[in-house]
Amino acid sequence: MYGSILVICIKGTLDVGGIEVVLQRNRDSGRLNAPDWTWDPTVRLSMLAVFVGGSLHKIQSSAVNQICIQRYLSLPSFKKAKQTVILFNILLIALLLCCCYMGLLAYASYHDCDPISTKLASASDQLPTLLVMKTVGDIPGLQGLFVSGVFSAALSSLSTGLNSLACVISQDVIASFLKSPLNERHTAIILRLIVVVFGVACIGLVYVVEKLGMVLQLSTMTSAVTMGPLLAVYTMGVTLPWINGKSALTGCLAGFLVLSWICGNAQVAQMKGEIAYPKMPVSIEGCKYEFDNATAWHTIHDYKPSTPEQRNLYHLSFLWYSALGATTSVIVACLATRIFGTTNLEELDPALVSPFMRRFLPLRKQKEYMSVSLEDFFSGQHAREGRKLHAEQK
């Protein structure tokens, strides 16, 4: 992924005349701007939405996500897991910065001939492909490098997601209905069947997704339907331990239904053209190929973004979805404790609660814990140290 995007960025920058030209063309068109400072949650990319809503979204996807936790648990120690998280975020930030620069480079390359207005590209998601063909299309092998980068990114996420999905369904759904545990052979067959079924479903959904707008925004909207309630479950578990299972489930169902309603109606409104976000200015004055001038002119000048008076709940920024789902779930769960009762905190293991909250809760006497790597644990060294510490405390 890094190899393909760096090659495109370096070669494309040299083609347009250097990084100064890239920045100047974007600066002249108003694209080098910061998010708006506003409290309005319907502004698509406000400063508050980016830093607060975006942070909560990334916390969910990187900290309490089944896919990521499954990877953290495969590491030998807690220290290694923390190092992995730090390294992961550094490399992720670097990759996202490369993607942002690639967007600036795409505009600098097509600043006087917008391919979307001329219908050379039907959606903004196709611009990277056009940029690749324009930049390295005459160099054998480099188009394949870009394709391999795209497939590497897609298969990495898809394979991990299918694997996690198969584990959850087989252990939490299928196994719970069986009277006797499955043997290793039957488990392997069930896992493979689940992956095949959902893999075929993912391929079929490609024809649906291509008609629903930008991939990044669509993925954030659809995943937020479950991400918000999932973030709430972990938040309630480590910071609000008096909320019992029934109350937490009630809150998550409420958050799921609220987000499903908002995301579904917002997507329908976008398809109907009732929701239109502001766009930056483009030009077709430098185009050197034939296109329908009337269509291009209407595409540029007839576009009318939604006014502040037209905005409603369905205009909510997609970066706020996870925060809204989590907040709704926590509030409803707290109210549901009036019906389902609360957990007896005196019987709760303090290790299951955030260290910050332990001092405020009437938990039972805390035990002594120490960080142990798996190698040392199985060697018995820390086991002996633990027994010695316990004897000294007595």
Nearest by Cα to 24 from 111, 134, 117: 111
Q: How far apart are CA 98 and CA 4, in angstroms?
A: 11
Going from the C-alpha of 169 to that of each of 99, 175, 233, the distances in angstroms are 35, 8, 19
Cα distance between residue 295 and residue 283, in whole Å: 13
**What's the token pair of residue 34?**
């910061």
pLDDT of residue 368: 54
Q: Looking at residue 180, what is its pLDDT?
A: 78
H or E stretch including 94? Answer: helix 78-109
The confidence score (pLDDT) of residue 13 equals 92
Residue 275, C-beta contacts closer than 8 angstroms, at least 6 positions apart: 266, 269, 306, 314, 315
pLDDT of residue 7: 85
Do the Cβ atoms of 64 and 357 come closer than 8 Å? no
Supply the pLDDT for residue 334. 92
d(CA 99, CA 83): 24
Q: Which of 213, 326, 210, 196 is nearest to 266 (CA)?
A: 213
Half-sphere exposure of 112 (CA within 13 A, CB side): 6
pLDDT (0 to 100) of residue 217: 62
- What are the boundaries of each domain within the chain? 1-139+212-393, 158-211
Q: What is the pLDDT of residue 329?
A: 92
Task: Provide the whole-model pTM.
Answer: 0.74
At 213 the pLDDT is 59
Which 3 state secondary structure label does DSSP give 302? Answer: coil
pLDDT mean values, one per 10 residues, the chain (394 residues)? 84 90 89 83 84 84 80 87 90 89 90 86 80 82 78 78 83 79 84 89 77 64 78 88 89 91 82 77 83 79 75 82 89 92 80 78 59 58 54 54
Q: Which pLDDT score, from 0 to 100, does residue 280 have?
A: 83
| pLDDT for the residue 95 | 87
